[in-house]
Amino acid sequence: MTKLQIVLIMILSFFTAERIFANNATKDSTFSFNTLKLFQLKNQWLNSGNIAGLTFNANENIGEVFGEYNLADGDYKRVREASHIENYSLSSESYLVLNDTYFYGNLAYQNSDETGNLYTGLFNPYRGNPYVIGDSIPGANIHKEAFNLSGGVAKKLTNILSFGLLADYHIGKSAKQKDPRPRTVITDFSLRPSIIIHFPNKSLGFDLAYRNRKEDIDYLQVVTDDPDPTYFMFKGMGFYSSETGQTKSRFYNQNNISAGTQLDTKLNGFSSLTEIRATYSKEITEDGTTTIKKADAGDWKTFTIALNQQFTRHTQSAIQKITFRSSYFDGDGIEYIQDAILNDDKQTEYITLSKNLKLNRKEFDAALEYKYLKLYNHEQINWESRVYAHYKLKKEKYYYIPEIFNADYSNLELGVNFEKDFYFGKFLLAPGIELDYRYNLDQELNLSSDETITRRQNKQLYIHDFEYETADCFNVSPQFYCGYKLPKSESIDELFLKIRYEFREVNDSNENVGILTAKLGFMF
Query: Per residue in 45-65, pLDDT tens?
Result: 999 999 999 999 988 889 999
∠ CA 120-121-123, rounded to 5°: 100
Kindly compute the dihedral angle of the four CA atoms of residues 141, 142, 143, 144, in this order, to the nearest 10 degrees. -160
pLDDT band of 7, cuts 50, 70, 90: very low
- Between strands 132-134 and 101-115, the pairing is unpaired
Percent of the chain with pLDDT over 90: 73
Q: Each residue of 84-120: pLDDT tens digit?
A: 999 999 999 999 999 999 999 999 999 999 999 999 9
Structural element, H or E, at residue 252: strand 248-267
**Is residue 425 pLDDT above 60, yes or no?**
yes
Cβ-contact 410, 379 below 8 angstroms = no
The residues pairing with 204 across neighbouring beta strands, listed in sequence order, are 197, 263
Q: How confident is the model at residue 409 (pLDDT cuts 50, 70, 90)?
A: very high
Q: What is the CB neighbour count within 10 angstroms for residue 428?
A: 21
Instruction: Answer for the pair 493, 486: CB distance below 8 angstroms, yes or no.
Output: yes
Top mean pLDDT of 238-242, 360-364, 489-493 is at 360-364
Across 307-315, average pLDDT:
95
User: What is the rounded distance in angstroms from the CA atom of residue 300 to the CA atom of residue 294?
Assistant: 12
Cα–Cα distance between 480 and 497 in angstroms, integer?
8
pLDDT at 488: 65
What is the predicted pLDDT for the residue at 226?
A: 66
The arithmetic mean of pLDDT across residues 247-275, rounded, is 95
Write down the pLDDT at residue 413. Answer: 98
Return the closest-CA partner of residue 372 out of 436, 431, 415, 318. Answer: 318
The C-alpha angle 518, 146, 331, rounded to 5 degrees, equals 105
**Residue 12 pLDDT grade (very low, low, confident, very high; cuts 50, 70, 90):** very low
Amino acid found at 121 = G
The residue type found at 489 is S
The pLDDT, as a whole number, for residue 67 is 96
Averaged pLDDT for residues 398-422? 95
Average pLDDT over residues 367-384: 91
Question: What confidence tier does 1 reach under pLDDT thresholds 50, 70, 90?
Answer: very low
Residue 21 has pLDDT above 50, yes or no: no
Q: Which of 257-261, 268-272, 326-330, 348-352 has the lowest mean pLDDT?
A: 348-352
**Predicted confidence (pLDDT) per residue in 202-252, tens digit:** 999 999 999 999 999 999 887 766 667 889 999 999 999 998 887 889 999
Q: How far apart are the first and last CA of the chain?
A: 29
Query: Which helix or strand (DSSP H or E) is residue 20 part of?
Result: helix 3-24
Quickly state the pLDDT bin for 32 (edges 50, 70, 90): low
DSSP state, 456?
T
Compute CA distances 432 → 197, 424, 435, whole Å. Answer: 40, 17, 10
Q: Are 359 and 396 in contact (CB under 8 A)?
A: yes
Beta-carbon contacts of 14 under 8 Å, excluding residues fewer than 6 positions away, are: 65, 92, 107
Per-domain boundaries in the chain:
3-523
Burial of 416 (0-12, 13-18, 19+ CB in 10 A): middle
Helices (H) then strands (E): counts for the chain: 4, 22
